[in-house]
Amino acid sequence: MEEVLKVKNVSVHYGDIQALWGVSFDVLKGQLVALLGANGAGKTTTLRAICGLLPISSGEIFFKDRKISGLPVHEVVELGITMVPEGRQLFPKMTVEENLLVGSYLKRAKEKRSKSLKKVYELFPRLAERKNQIAETLSGGEQQMLAIGRALMQDPELIMFDEPSLGLAPILVKDVFKTIQEMKQIGLTILLVEQNVHQTLKIADYCYIIENGRIVQQGNGKELEQDPKIREAYLGF
């Protein structure tokens, strides 16, 4: 199976504070890989380093055998990597469709704008119904759909999620995880950062546990779910 993303011995500092310590993991084409850990463990820092939003102190990051560490963010996105950020970060005064179109401003995505918009509306019929509605008037679940749809407008080969269920009601959390599964089924490669360990272990092909900026454990969902340390630390039993 083709290796889409390779993070190799990556360390990251915030000034004098080291946030990541030699983090390494792989994501294969078509996989849903999860990066799990407590708040402050280094999950978001890892995503931001992959995107080019944070410089790495050492190590390398490869996308489809091309080294991307050190590239500016727009070049990383143009290659086919996108992220759904924590907190959604929509343009609140713009309509649903305007928010979606913002996601297709780079050359790679602009050429497929109409096709991508059709795909997003098929995946999220509710967004099609509300395409002229102002984004800030949407419910929390609808705003998360919009954030995901905007990322899909970039025509990504790898889509990264940063805490997509954060702040949502339990019933909406189920909808978000169902959507992520549907995206995998249509062939997208996914890197998921989540604190909802129980739900994530059910849908991920492979998981990495990060603690204090280091990968401390890895395995498939069933293996980790049965591990006594994981059950106690993350599942509460």
Would you list the domain boundaries of the chain?
93-153
Question: Between 145 and 20, whose confidence is greater?
Answer: 20
For the whole prediction, is pTM greater than 0.85?
yes
Per-residue pLDDT tens over the stretch 196-226: 888 899 899 999 999 999 999 999 988 888 8
What's the pLDDT score for residue 93? 95
CA angle 20, 77, 206 (to 5 degrees): 50
Tokens of 150: 């905007």
Question: With 70 as the cut, is the pLDDT of residue 95 above it?
Answer: yes
Averaged pLDDT for residues 132-151: 92
What is the Cα 125 distance to its own chain's centre? 22
Query: For residue 230, which amino acid is it?
Result: I
